[in-house]
Amino acid sequence: MKLQRLLAVARKEFIHVARDWRSLFLSLAIPVILIMLFGYALTLDLRKVPMVVWDQSQSSQSRDLLALFSGSPYFSIIGYYDNYKNLQLDLDRGNAMVAVVIPSDFAQKIIGQKKVAIQIIGDGSDANTSRLAMGYAATVGMIYSANITARKMQLAGRKNLSPPVEMVSRSWYNPDLRSQNVIIPGIIAIVMVVIAAMLTSVTIAREWETGTMEQLISTPLKGPELIFGKVIPYFVIGMVDVALAVAMGKWLFDVPIVGASGLLFAMAAIFLTGALFWGMSLSIILKSQVLANQIAIVSGYLPTLILSGFVFAIENMPGPIQCITYIVPARYFIAILRGIYLKGIGLEILWLDALLLSVYALVMIFLANRKFKFKLE
């Protein structure tokens, strides 16, 4: 493989990319769109859940309880009603996620130091959000109960009883539990897969469809020179997209990089290489721009989104599906990204993920060259 011929192919492909301004624009605009879309729309944080209330007690005790809900960052009381029909109507329309019903004897039981049940109704059509919201509502009830108990002990002149066991929780690596800190690193993998699928999956197929491949075969150009020469421009574009994604994550969503930025870009380069050569392999095998592009997006984007641990925890998946995730390269890349972004760890811990990612890139390079050599023959 001669460097002069390889650079000539790379120069030719750079010129083609520059002339095809639509594809160039998309390759730079898609990362921005994906980061904005996922960063703002895909959030796992529970904030300002709309709540409706039926306060049958209408007492100072019930108002104290509702003040805890309205003062919480997790709930927003949007309506007060005096019947179940209006509560159900808001839940049916999706205006409210949670409804709270305080019984009429609430104040009397609180004063009489008796147990009282408060009804919490959740919209189970959104199971995850409803489960979290009802859990937070139960926590608010526990806080109110603890406040009542402490107040009564103070009035009786007794000291507050300290629980024998105190659970002190603390979150490492992401103290505020911001979902953006987890989502933004995963978006980098999504961006790279989409860009790689969109760009390289059509390169060789375009040469076949336009009839220029026969001319290339008749030249002294060798298969690896053509393949690597065509990949180089898209590798540069892909790394620019990575830098763009990292910059937007830092300045737009305030997601810091705790670990080494150099290691992050090095791992991104390995993953990008594998993704580009996977798209190149499809382009070589299928010889159709449309078909290769569609299969590249489906085979790259969907597994990265669903089976990599980006959105759904792999530990919660059925056993057979967990086994399938081991062949999804984005699983290892996202683990590396989160390790660098959030934990600040290096290859002393991430070496296995980095090794498997390197094996993936080497296999894709071998596959593309093997298939193209066969076509040249």
What's the CA gap between 65 and 145, in Å, rounded?
Answer: 9
Domains of the chain: residue spans and CATH? 3-42+178-376 (no CATH), 49-155 (3.40.1710.10)
Q: Which of 228, 247, 263 is nearest to 346 (CA)?
A: 263
3-state secondary structure of 98: strand
Per-position pLDDT tens, the chain of length 377: 677 777 787 887 788 777 777 777 877 888 888 888 887 777 666 778 899 999 999 888 889 889 988 888 888 899 999 888 899 899 888 888 889 999 888 888 888 878 888 888 888 887 777 888 888 888 888 888 878 777 776 666 666 555 566 666 777 887 777 778 888 888 888 888 888 877 777 777 777 777 676 666 667 677 777 888 888 888 998 899 899 989 998 888 888 888 899 999 999 999 999 999 998 888 888 777 778 878 888 888 888 888 988 888 888 889 899 999 999 999 999 999 999 998 989 999 999 999 999 999 999 999 888 877 644 44
For 121, the enclosing helix (H) or strand (E) is strand 119-122
Q: What is the pTM of this model?
A: 0.78
* The pair of three-digit structure tokens given for residue 58, joined into one six-digit string: 């209408």
* The pair of three-digit structure tokens given for residue 366, joined into one six-digit string: 């071998």
What's the CA gap between 201 and 364, in Å, rounded?
Answer: 13
- The contacts of residue 63 (CB under 8 Å, 6+ apart) are 55
* The pair of three-digit structure tokens given for residue 275, joined into one six-digit string: 């993704």
What's the CA gap between 280 and 291, in Å, rounded?
Answer: 13
Angle at 220 between CA 219 and CA 222, to 5 degrees: 105
Signed CA dihedral, 225, 231, 236, 242: sign only:
negative
HSE toward the beta carbon, residue 329, CA cutoff 13 A: 28
- The contacts of residue 335 (CB under 8 Å, 6+ apart) are 309, 350, 353
Query: Could you tell me if 192 and 238 are in contact, meaning their C-beta atoms sit under 8 angstroms apart?
Result: yes
One-character DSSP codes across 129-175? HHHHHHHHHHHHHHHHHHHHHHHHHHHTT-PPPPPS-------SS-T
